[in-house]
Structure 1
């Protein structure tokens, strides 16, 4: 028989009420055990373990970027090498582990051993980065131990030469401790901090951080050394004074790296950097003058600095340093003259200081020809100085035009070509220099570089205009050479919006069209219609040039048809009422040519011819 089922006992209502009245069980309160005391490092004065740094980038986000990122910085992000791992890789990892241990002696020994390696090697840099060594090195900058600070800076100074490492260190906010270390009482720490800052400041983000975090006024304050130290030669200085000069050199390098930023230039101007640069340029320490001159030539982009340089007498220093044996100093001096000589007063000061002769000697030097950066700077200075007719007289005495002609080569540097053509355009305002250009066979070289230079400078068109006004020289450009020049002018005719370029270009076309079949060639190049569009300009020089050009082009019947189709009549009718007699005659003659062609076509249509 199956077992009987037990009856389920259902609690009655009275039993439930009795259970509800019973007191609940007391809650067990867990008492929190006190946390063990954290051990504090004797080296850093902080608890062991990873340090958490909160980096506020609010100020950086609020400040707009003032300069584009350079191509080198952009390309470096994607350049990765995967070489074989050498044995030094594992040794480096062990040293980083010892540094992380927090023991002062182990840290110092590790830093000393690290300096024995080639820290510019990418494999070693990668090993340090992967083990978290860069974080440790940056943290060591904020310790109170001067030996650890010195060792860390010595290592970082070599590691920071890599673009990838620079970016990583900037993300770790290395700029902040470096700025603070400029206040350090030890000169060797200040020197290392400045040298490291000069390297990382080549990156745009670092320049922005240094500017926003108040680094510029501090740099200017630290590098302000007494005049008596600047006037004495390095060998005559005491050890303390030599350290002052070394600090000033490091800070000048920082400013040279920062100088590419427009906002940094404005900060420098506000804090009176011009007077400081003027003092440094008169010192006897070439290593200090070189980066200072770099700052000068970068600041010379702004007219407010150029005028200030004239007031404090820096132009005389630029001329004096052109004769220095240091190549970089000569390059920066020539670049500064190139930028400052756009002002008439500066060109006069360069001539009075005797700066034209050194520029000519540098142009004629074979050593300078081998250094394209220096050659571009020197030819640029010559070009701007040649704008003044008084300077051309001195250039002629030095045979400048004959020295520039050999530089008109297709394989020459673009900047050099642009500057050489600009200088020739200014010098050829003197008719005697046109003959010199012809004698030295400079004319046949112009067509070969014409297309190469159009996008760089309007100087070539000014030169062509001056040559076209001299009939004897223009005859030398007949045939294929002149056609190549005409072909080269077609592209900028369509694309370039520069008013000065258009004015010079249209006049050059006008006078060139007076020879042989050049008017017909322009029609074949389809350059007549774009030329008519220039008549919408409000610039009087452009209107004059295009009106004269249209007149000469209208001598070719096919060009008259193109002009009439483009609606040239309404423009030239308006120009008939110009105040310039030459424009009036050109406009009226153009209407005459078009009307004459129309009458001829009408007679032919009605068989009256």
Structure 2
């Protein structure tokens, strides 16, 4: 039952101190003043509550004080204040929650006391999305801004993202996204991009017309707002429809322009991420070429933090699917810095670099530079990386390197222990590693000397062991590898002895035409051995192949016919031996 007026005067004189100074903040904590301030939140006196929150809002910028405020139970009181009819008081409570809820436990407390629902309620006011504001509306905007700030802090937790959605927060955030004031847009887009990691938000951003406004604000003069917009696009553009919307609303040009702002690294990380994901669509790559984004990306390949490099190289990898950009990268001097990145340790970066180098190596002129810089040896050593995604990326990249190198056989032999290393990867449990290694082995085996070496390392039994797979991509590359490995010594016979033939026959029942083609070629090679012919015949190969003799694909047609001819020839010879 103290004197409210005296309390208010005391609170006002406290605010004469510089509350942003750490010494003042810690003094307030150390003399037990925090407990008093927090007790004032539970009084009915609006002036006392306001005075207390004004101080708590300032000093809660301090990490230690945040934790103490939460430990003393202040968040529960602040959440209750969100129901107050006094708008200024609600705003102060929300802003203080925004400061305190920057750590996990505090975010949980806000949710458990019903704070998320109340904060979403602050966004629900009359003037949502209007551009000209009367003083009453300005008041609404301020309430919504404070609510959005608190939701932004709270949205770092997955359960809170879900709670915001359940409380009806998505359409309200979408409506505020249409307004033009940066001070409310920043927390609104900040919250949206934080929540955009969740599928339900990705869907809403795509379907509720938010992309248009995110694109519009890429051209804002506020870098923080540009960053959150780019970050939201980065997280959502995995989806094709979103990528198309970004293009249709003219978002690719401002993204390309922002690549020129290389000082602000957080902004650059978001922008390069958005460019990377948007470039998954070929139509977008064409636009990026027009806006000279490829040249800009190559220019950024040096002196960048790793999170930015991951995105830049990811974007180049997508742009390289268009052959013209492989020449652009070479012309801008991009091959040496890319090859240099193969020596790094960041797994995500290595996955993207191998993909980009793979695309570049399909051009013989690029391959000369890669070879000259010892790039193939670096790729080969990445096969030892513990991460299966890196191993697979390296094995895929090795394929065009072998295809386009001057003397590929000699180059491969020059890697000491290299052939044994790649053959041993056929023991991997990862489907993508197995598929990429089969593809690499197909290329390696084109050189007779190297085929002899990998045969000694046991490639035939290892390939045979993989034959019982129903993964079509693996089947395709495995059949090609088997086909190529038949060209040495008695490998055809060994494949038969290792029971690789019968499973291959069943590949012909797959729905994938590229599997049919590769399998027919493998069976044709294997059918040069009489025992294999018998196995094929017993497994009903003739009927399956006859259907393929009429195929429009000439390679498939010839292989199917050749295999049937070999089986027929064997049958005739057997009859002749039997009946003379």
The alignment's TM-score, normalised by the length of structure 1, stands at 0.74
> Residue deviations 1:68-100, cap 9 Å, x none?
xxxxxxxxxxxxxxxxxxxxxxxxxxxxxxxxx
More helix by share: 2
User: Who is 1:171 aligned against?
Assistant: 71
Check the 8 A contact 2:339/2:357 in 1, yes or no. no
Q: Are 2:440 and 1:549 aligned?
A: yes
Q: Partner of 2:129 in structure 1?
A: 230
Taking a change above 3 Å as real, the CA distance of residues 585 and 209 of structure 1, as seen in their structure-2 partners, is closer
Q: 1:511 and 1:532 mapped to 2: Cα distance?
A: 21
Q: Does residue 356 of the first structure (1) align with residue 236 of the second (2)?
A: no
Report the 3-state secondary structure (helix = DSSP H, G, I; strand = E; otherwise coil) of the residue aligned with 2:262. Answer: helix
Which residue number in structure 1 is paired with residue 363 of structure 2? 470
Contact 1:259 1:265 (C-alpha < 8 Å) held by counterparts? yes
In structure 2, the partner of 1:602 is none
Whether 1:510 and 2:399 are equivalent positions in the alignment is yes
Question: Cα deviations across residues 508-545 of structure 1 (Å, max 9, x unaligned)?
Answer: 12332453444235434x67436523454463x54342
Q: CA deviation at 1:315?
A: 1.0
Q: Does residue 296 of the first structure (1) align with residue 296 of the second (2)?
A: no
Q: How does 1:516-527 map to 2 (within 5 A)?
A: 516=407, 517-524=410-417
Query: What displacement does 1:406 show?
Result: 0.8
Does the CA-based 8 Å contact 1:548-1:587 persist in structure 2? no
> Does residue 1:379 correspond to 2:275, yes or no?
no
* Aligned partners of 2:177 and 2:188 also within 8 Å: yes
Equivalent residue in structure 2 for 1:246, among 125, 142, 148? 142
Does 2:40 correspond to 1:140? yes
Shift of 1:561: 5.4
CA distances 1:224-248 after superposition (whole Å, capped 9, x unpaired): 1114x63133xx412x332221111
State the 1:163 CA deviation. 0.4
- 1:142/1:441 CA distance change after superposition, 3 Å: same
Cα drift, residue 560 of structure 1:
5.9
Counterparts of 2:202 and 2:116 in 1: how far apart (Å)?
A: 21
- Tell me the distance in 2 between the aligned counterparts of 1:254 and 1:528: 58
Contact 1:483–1:521 (CA under 8 A) maintained in structure 2: no
Q: Which moved more, 1:457-466 or 1:296-305?
A: 457-466
1:181 positional shift: 0.8
TM score, norm. by length of structure 2: 0.77
Partner in structure 1 of residue 238 of structure 2 = 342
Which runs of 5 or more structure 2 residues have no equivalent in the other structure? 492-580
Deviation larger for 105-114 or 394-403: 105-114
Query: d(CA) in 2 for partners of 1:271 and 1:296?
Result: 15
Q: Distance in 2 between the 1:148 and 1:576 partners?
A: 77
After superposition, the Cα gap between the structure-2 partners of 1:484 and 1:137, relative to the gap in structure 1 and judged at 3 Å, is: farther
| Correspondence for 1:568 among 447, 452, 459 | 459
Q: How far apart are 1:376 and its partner, in Å?
A: 0.9
CA 1:487/1:549 → structure 2, altered by over 3 Å: closer, same or farther? closer
C-alpha distance in 1 between matches for 2:43 and 2:419: 72
* Contact 1:528 1:559 survives alignment (8 Å): no
Show the counterpart of 1:460. Answer: 353
Task: Give per-residue Cα distances to partners, 1:360-404, cap 9 Å, x unaligned.
Answer: 1111x2xx2100110111111111111011111111111221111
Shift of 1:193: 0.8
Larger-gyration structure (1/2): 1
The answer (yes or no) to whether the contact 1:384–1:423 under 8 Å persists in 2 is yes
Distance in 1 (alpha carbons) for counterparts of 2:131 and 2:312: 40
Inter-partner Cα distance in structure 2 for 1:272 and 1:521: 64
Aligned position for 1:29: none
**SS in structure 2 of the partner of residue 478 of structure 1:** helix
Report the CA distance between 1:321 and its aligned residue.
0.9
User: Is the Cα–Cα contact under 8 Å of residues 376 and 401 in structure 2 kept in the other structure?
Assistant: no
Distance 1:121 1:310 in 2: 44
Deviation at 1:110, TM superposition (A): 2.2
In structure 2, distance between residues paired with 1:256 and 1:369: 26
Give the whole-Å Cα distance in 1 for the aligned partners of 2:394 and 2:376: 15
Q: 2:23 aligns with which of 119, 123, 140?
A: 123
Matched, 1:284 2:173: no
- SS of match in other structure, 1:408: coil
1:587 aligns with 2:482: yes
Cα shift at 1:353: 0.8
Q: What is the alpha-carbon distance in structure 2 between the residues aligned to residue 594 and residue 295 of structure 1?
A: 65
Within 1, Cα distance between the matches of 2:61 and 2:244? 42
Note the residue ranges of structure 1 that are not aligned, 5 or more in a row.
1-40, 44-102, 597-609
Segment of structure 1 superposing worse, 167-176 or 446-455: 446-455
Of 308, 318, 332, the match for 2:214: 318
Alignment of 1:411-422 (within 5 A): 411-422=303-314
Counterpart of 1:31 in structure 2 is: none
Q: Deviations over 1:413-462 (max 9, x none)?
A: 11111111111111111111111111111111112222336512422121
Q: Distance in 1 between the 2:48 and 2:164 partners?
A: 33
CA distance in structure 2 between the aligned counterparts of 1:135 and 1:104, rounded to whole angstroms:
17
Distance 1:591 1:144, change over 3 A: same
TM alignment of 1:20-35, pairs within 5 A = none
- Residue equivalent to 1:329: 225
Cα gap change, 1:157/1:505 in structure 2, threshold over 3 Å: closer, same or farther?
A: same
Are residues 1:214 and 2:114 paired? yes
